[in-house]
Amino acid sequence: MSLLWPISLVLFAAVAALALAYVVAQRRRRRFALRYASLALIRPAQPGAARWLRHVPPALFLLALASLAFALARPVSVFAVPTNKTTIIMAMDVSRSMCSTDIPPNRLVAAQNAALAFIENQRPDVPIGIVAFAGFAELIQPPTTDRAVLREAILGLVTGRRTAIGSAILKSIEAIAEVDPEIAPLGDVFTLPDTPVAPGQFAPHIIVLLTDGASNTGPSPQLAAQQAAARGIRVYTIGFGTEQGGEMPNCNPGYVGREPPGGFGMGGGMAWGQFRRGIDEETLKQVAAMTSAQYYPAESLEELLQAFRDVPTQLIAKYETMEISAVFVALAALLAGLAFVLALRWQPLL
């Protein structure tokens, strides 16, 4: 819970002053009673409850004033609202290293099989989009509920050169903004939206990003994650590959005979014919944390399937910030009304 007008909390000082004035008045009244009356005569005639019942209405009235003062501070809270506007974007790494055979038959085929299983496990009314990225990112399938079209897009993935994780996140945001007018479109990637979402508020859309490497081209993943977080879009990241790596034959027929000499410059993670695990887990964890999501490591097909199952797609809701001043106004009215009724009912005891 947060406050839009926290300066209004100074009114609590006025409530405290009234409470202090009441206590002082009661002490003066007690001294007056001791001077001008005999307590020995009054106490037998006074019910025992009267000594504290007479303080209940004023206490309730002071609580009503405190509740009203808090309402004037305009408290807001974040609520999960059910929505049927959920969109899932799957960002799939198709860099050359996905040809590695350490996960049979190779990482790309294993990732395709896991992605297809993930798609089949979603509700049939949830639109899913596919972004493929290597040296650049491309939306190869806009969000759709047609599972046959999605299957065709996944099976049609081919590998390319380099790895642009930041571009993949930005392209996924663009795809979501195309289908949801409430999501601010991307402008300058260095400029956040005019009205970023409040902390703890989320859009009903998520990005599931799978990669087996480290970003080496395009905008930084952290910069892209800032754009996603400003729109309330959570980015769940999956790092895929084994520690020892494996043989890396060319699994993209389009590149056969046109491979550049010396490999693809993966900062020590790439060697011709052999690939050592080069996942930048720290960056993937940062991206997930910045967007209030989670990072999942996977070193086998079974672990990848489990990672996809662990992504919380079944409980996606739209998180909205709502002002709850009316609740405290209603509470103040209830307390004030109760104080009035009790004061009238207990008047003979006062």
Tell whether the model's pLDDT for residue 4 goes beyond 80. Answer: no
| pLDDT score of 44 more than 80 | no
CA distance 279 to 231: 27
Which range is least confidently modeled, 47-51, 118-122, 186-190?
A: 47-51
> Mean pLDDT for the chain?
81
pLDDT surpassing 50 at residue 273: no
List, by residue range, all CATH 3.40.50.410 domains of the chain: 97-316
Question: Which has the higher per-residue pLDDT, 63 or 92?
Answer: 92
State pLDDT tens for residues 123-141: 999 999 999 999 999 999 9
- Top-confidence residue, 336 or 149: 149
Asked whether the predicted pLDDT for residue 289 surpasses 70, the reply is yes
Q: Looking at the predicted structure, is the pLDDT value of residue 293 above 90?
A: yes
State the pLDDT confidence band at 295, using cuts at 50, 70 and 90. Answer: very high
Round to whole Å and give the CA distance between 304 and 68. 53
Query: Where does the pLDDT of residue 256 fall: very low under 50, low under 70, confident under 90, or very high at 90 and above?
Result: very low
| Closest to 106 (Cα-Cα) out of 244, 245, 239 | 245
Nearest to 156 by CA among 64, 252, 54, 57: 252
Confidence of residue 264 (pLDDT cuts 50, 70, 90): very low
The pLDDT value recorded for residue 86 is 86
> What DSSP assignment string belongs to 86-105?
--EEEEEE-BGGGG--SSSS
Centre a 10 Å sphere on the Cβ of residue 69 and count the other Cβ atoms it contains. Answer: 19
Query: pLDDT tier at 275 (50, 70, 90 boundaries)?
Result: very low
Characterise 106 by phi-psi region: left (phi > 0), alpha (psi -120 to 50), beta (else). beta
Report the pLDDT value the prediction gives residue 321, as an integer from 0 to 100: 67
User: In 10 A of CB 184, how many CB atoms?
Assistant: 17
Query: Given this model, what pLDDT does residue 269 score?
Result: 36
Topology of the domain comprising 97-316: Rossmann fold (3.40.50)
Residue 320 pLDDT: 62
What pLDDT, on the 0 to 100 scale, is given for residue 55? 73
Please say if the pLDDT value at position 307 is more than 80. Answer: yes
Q: Angle at Cα 129 formed by Cα 127 and Cα 133, nearest 5°?
A: 165
pLDDT(189) > 80? no
E strand or H helix that includes residue 236: strand 234-240
Q: Give the residue, 246 or 257, on which the prediction is more confident.
A: 246
Does 276 score more than 60 pLDDT?
no
How high is the pLDDT of residue 84? Answer: 59
Check: pTM over 0.75? Answer yes or no.
Answer: no
Query: What token pair was written down for 304?
Result: 């990848």
Tens digit of pLDDT for each residue in 194-216?
778 777 778 889 999 999 989 99
137-144: strand order across its sheet: 137-144, 128-133, 88-93, 206-211, 234-240, 295-298
